[in-house]
Amino acid sequence: MNPPAKISAKISMKIPMKIQGAIAAVSALPPRALPLGGALLCVALVAIALYFQHVDGLEPCPLCIFQRVAFIAVAVILLAAAAHNPRRLGRRIYAGCAAVAAALGAAVAARHVWLQSLPPERVPECGPGLGYLLDAFPLQRALSLVLRGSGECAEVQWKLIGLSMPAWSLVWLVLLTAGALFAACRAK
């Protein structure tokens, strides 16, 4: 047995059989299935956020809007990948772009979760809305102000199983990042 085969055998013995089976099942899917599934997940998550906004009346803060933009960007990239159905290098490029978009969204969500975890006396004051910031300041300055967060970003309006909406966004964006990186590494 050559050295790479020994390493592969050792690694595969350490991975539980159920996970190996799941990886094999995912690898057996048609090339368009994974990006299409990821895109549909992103669309569903944005639809849920829009439901909470327009039906339940939960107004999104600027950081929430940026998280939605990240989900939409990932969806667009993955839909393009599914439509294009590229070969190995193209799959890696699409997966890498999706990973970058999801990681940027995860960074915004992590900042949002951090703001929500601050004690009340450390929460920044509420600032103007996103529309005003984009109208009144150059784009770079407006983005800088938004990413600092404000008091409205620190308010927890909704929870599921103890996690706020930004925390759920963080979970999904991290999973999308990991999935895209996995796809980039496994592109055949």
Q: Is 97 part of the annotated catalytic residue set? A: no
Question: Is the Cβ–Cβ distance between 126 and 153 less than 8 Å?
Answer: no
Establish if 17 belongs to a structural domain.
Answer: no
pLDDT digits (tens), the chain, 188 positions: 555 455 444 555 555 666 666 666 666 667 777 889 999 999 999 999 999 988 988 888 888 888 999 999 999 999 999 899 888 888 889 999 999 999 999 999 998 898 888 887 777 766 666 677 778 888 888 777 776 655 567 778 888 898 889 999 999 999 999 888 888 777 56
**Residue 66 and residue 145: Cα distance in Å, rounded?**
13
Question: What is the pLDDT at residue 33?
Answer: 79
Question: Is the Cβ–Cβ distance between 82 and 39 less than 8 Å?
Answer: yes
Of 42, 68, 91, 111, the catalytic one is 68
Q: Into how many domains does the chain fold?
A: 1
Establish if 103 belongs to a structural domain.
Answer: yes
**Residue 168 and residue 152: Cα distance in Å, rounded?**
18
Identity (one letter) of the amino acid at 149?
Answer: G
> In this structure, what CATH number is given to the domain that contains residue 55?
1.20.1550.10
Establish if 4 belongs to a structural domain.
Answer: no
Q: Is 126 part of the annotated catalytic residue set? A: yes
Establish if 20 belongs to a structural domain.
Answer: no
- Could you tell me the two tokens for 185? 């590494």
Establish if 7 belongs to a structural domain.
Answer: no
Of 42, 91, 97, 153, the catalytic one is 153
Establish if 161 belongs to a structural domain.
Answer: yes
Of 32, 42, 64, 87, the catalytic one is 64
Establish if 174 belongs to a structural domain.
Answer: yes
Containing domain of residue 77, as a range? 32-186
Question: What is the pLDDT at residue 27?
Answer: 65
Q: Is 187 left (phi over 0), alpha (psi -120 to 50) or beta?
A: beta
Establish if 85 belongs to a structural domain.
Answer: yes
| Radius of gyration of the CA atoms of the chain, in A | 20
**Residue 157 and residue 63: Cα distance in Å, rounded?**
14
